[in-house]
Amino acid sequence: MTAPELSVEGGSVVAVAVGFLLALGTIALSSWIVLVAYRGYRKSSERSILFLAVGIGLTATVPTVARIVVPTVGASALLSTAVAVAVQFSGLIWILYAVYGRPEDGGYRAVATAAVGSLFVLLAPLAAVERGIGESAAMTGVSAVTAVVGGFVAIQAYRGYRRYDRRPMLLLAVGVGLLTVGSFGTLTAVDLLGSTSDAVALGSVWSIELLGLLSILRSLTTDRSG
């Protein structure tokens, strides 16, 4: 990982270059995943698969890109994290609904639940900060909830791998795990260590998320016998 160099070179040309590369990689991988997932849906044109595809898109690609793009346009770190977590939360609900619900019979309820849930996840930290609760504490709260849901989805995918020996399910589990639990864990660890710079924090989270995206992309594109 690039983190040690970053802490030495914090704010230097190297840090900027690494950050830029990570950002580019994230955007490229995300677009690729969305494309592959969309093609997968078009091939089957089943409603549940549409829900799964949208869920994976919202869980994996949108939040990672949001984490990069939203701060760039000058929004606060709190807002960008809140948006990323809220979108990810709604994505996880789409996935869970595809698996547990019956998207064949409509699915407006799931869309509504996802919308209400993510609105709550978005507004909760902002409201908490208004009331004087620390910014990081508020964000940690909602991120933890999302990480728990993401961990659950990852475990279900892992069980699918164990039961059917399907490698793609393992890669999906790793990807979803890294993007939810992994990124939350990294943020928390960086927070606890305290002394590190923002560049290191961002760098490590971006790296973890990039790995997560890579894993999901592999799982979507690896051939059927894999």
Partner 1 sequence: MDEATDGLSAATLGELLEDEYARSILAETSVEPLSATELAERCDASSPTIYRRINRLQELDMLDEEQTLNPDGHHYRRFSARLERVTIELSDGGYEVSVDRTTDDAVDRFTELYEGLR
Residue ranges binding partner 1 (CB under 8 A)? 37, 40-41, 43-44, 46, 48-49, 52-53, 56, 98-100, 156-157, 159-160, 163-164, 166, 168-169, 172, 219-221, 224
Handedness of CA 82, 111, 100, 46 (dihedral sign): negative
CB of 223 to partner 1, least distance (A): 9
Q: Which is nearer to partner 1, 117 or 175 (CB)?
A: 175
Separation between Cα atoms, residue 127 and residue 26, nearest integer Å? 30
Q: Which is nearer to partner 1, 22 or 56 (CB)?
A: 56
Main-chain phi, psi angles of 106, to 5 degrees: 115, -105
CB of 204 to partner 1, least distance (A): 29
Could you tell me which of 141, 93, 147, 95 has the C-alpha nearest to residue 115? 93
What amino acid occupies position 204?
Answer: S
Separation between Cα atoms, residue 136 and residue 215, nearest integer Å? 29
The angle subtended at Cα 56 by Cα 53 and Cα 62, nearest 5°, is 115
CB of 154 to partner 1, least distance (A): 11
CB of 174 to partner 1, least distance (A): 14
The angle subtended at Cα 129 by Cα 125 and Cα 132, nearest 5°, is 145
Q: Which is nearer to partner 1, 20 or 164 (CB)?
A: 164
Q: Which is nearer to partner 1, 37 or 190 (CB)?
A: 37
Q: Which is nearer to partner 1, 13 or 223 (CB)?
A: 223
Q: Which is nearer to partner 1, 15 or 171 (CB)?
A: 171
| Residue pair 31/146 in contact by the 8 Å Cβ criterion | no
Contacts of 158 (CB under 8 A, 6+ apart): 169, 170, 173
CB of 63 to partner 1, least distance (A): 19
Separation between Cα atoms, residue 149 and residue 134, nearest integer Å? 23
CB of 225 to partner 1, least distance (A): 12
